[in-house]
A and B are shown apart, each in its own frame.
Chain A
Amino acid sequence: GAVVSQHPSRVICKSGTSVKIECRSLDFQATTMFWYRQFPKQSLMLMATSNEGSKATYEQGVEKDKFLINHASLTLSTLTVTSAHPEDSSFYICSARDQTGGTGELFFGEGSRLTVL
């Protein structure tokens, strides 16, 4: 199946710094990618829809100025957590839709674990 890769898989940063997480679709093009956040023992919470060449669409309650999303190409979306705080520590997962095959199936990255000290 299609592959979605996230980098880094783990990152530790100090409070107040910014962290960038990359999401790449390796063997297909994705005009739409999704960013999720998963707390321990909880479900995936959709944060935003990343649209290639246009602004991301954020879910209610998600601060767009804190979680900056850029989808500059058909294979890359980035999530930047700005001025990170300990409460931002979480597991961030991206997914990309393979639209070329017609099934619209979502493929998920391995996730990125962010720890803010």
Chain B
Amino acid sequence: AQSVSQHNHHVILSEAASLELGCNYSYGGTVNLFWYVQYPGQHLQLLLKYFSGDPLVKGIKGFEAEFIKSKFSFNLRKPSVQWSDTAEYFCAVGQNRDDKIIFGKGTRLHILP
């Protein structure tokens, strides 16, 4: 069965620090990979997604993620975080474009002003 593992449960950073959130998945076939964000009091929103092509994916708000197939990883990065990035971040994986999506446990990010 598919599974998604996020290594960091709670991350605290100062503004302008660089961010990297780890995500690993277990599935041997072709996968679609996603990062979702949930700001306080709001619903889930898509940050970025990977279906195929360039493994370095750029999303909204300056976020990017790199798909490394050999490591089964899809880590999320941002070179300089802002206070407004405080939110919970979820990595997710699907088997194909129309399939169900399985979520990781999430990483709560807290940015200090």
Partner of B102, one of A46, A104, A105, A108: A46
Contacts of B101 in A (CB 8 A): 34, 46, 95, 106
CB distance from B90 to the nearest CB of A (A): 7
Q: Are A42 and B105 in contact, CB atoms less than 8 angstroms apart?
A: yes
B98: contacting residue among A46, A95, A99, CB under 8 A: A99
Chain A residue numbers with a CB within 8 Å of B43 are 93, 108-111
Is the CB of A44 closer than 8 A to any CB of chain B? yes
- Chain A residues with Cβ below 8 Å from B106 are 42-43
The chain A residue with its CB closest to the CB of B102 is A46
Flag whether B103 is at the interface (Cβ < 8 A).
Answer: yes
Task: Name the A residues within 8 Å of B105 (CB-CB).
Answer: 42-43
Contacts of A109 in B (CB 8 A): 43
Residues from chain B with a CB closer than 8 A to the CB of A32 are 98
The total of interchain contacts (Cβ-Cβ below 8 angstroms) comes to 41
Interface residues on chain B, size class = 10 to 19
A28 and B101 alpha carbons, distance in the complex (Å)? 20
Asked whether B98 lies within 8 Å of A106 as measured between CB atoms, the reply is: no
Closest to B42 in A: A110
Q: How far is the CA of A34 from the CA of B100 in the complex (A)?
A: 7
CB proximity of A63 to chain B, nearest CB, Å: 18
A75 on interface, CB distance cutoff 8 Å: no
| A-side contacts of B44, CB under 8 Å | 44, 93, 95, 108
Sample of 11 further A-B pairs with CB below 8 A, known A43-B103, A108-B45:
A34-B101, A44-B44, A46-B101, A95-B44, A95-B101, A99-B98, A104-B97, A105-B46, A106-B101, A108-B44, A111-B43
| Residues of A that sit less than 8 Å from B by CB | 32, 34, 36, 42-46, 49, 93, 95, 97, 99, 104-106, 108-111
Identify 24 residue pairs between A and B in the complex whose beta-carbon atoms are under 8 Å apart, listed by A's number.
A32-B98, A36-B103, A42-B106, A43-B103, A43-B104, A43-B105, A43-B106, A44-B90, A45-B103, A46-B100, A46-B101, A95-B101, A97-B98, A104-B97, A104-B98, A105-B46, A106-B34, A106-B46, A106-B101, A108-B43, A108-B44, A108-B45, A109-B43, A111-B43
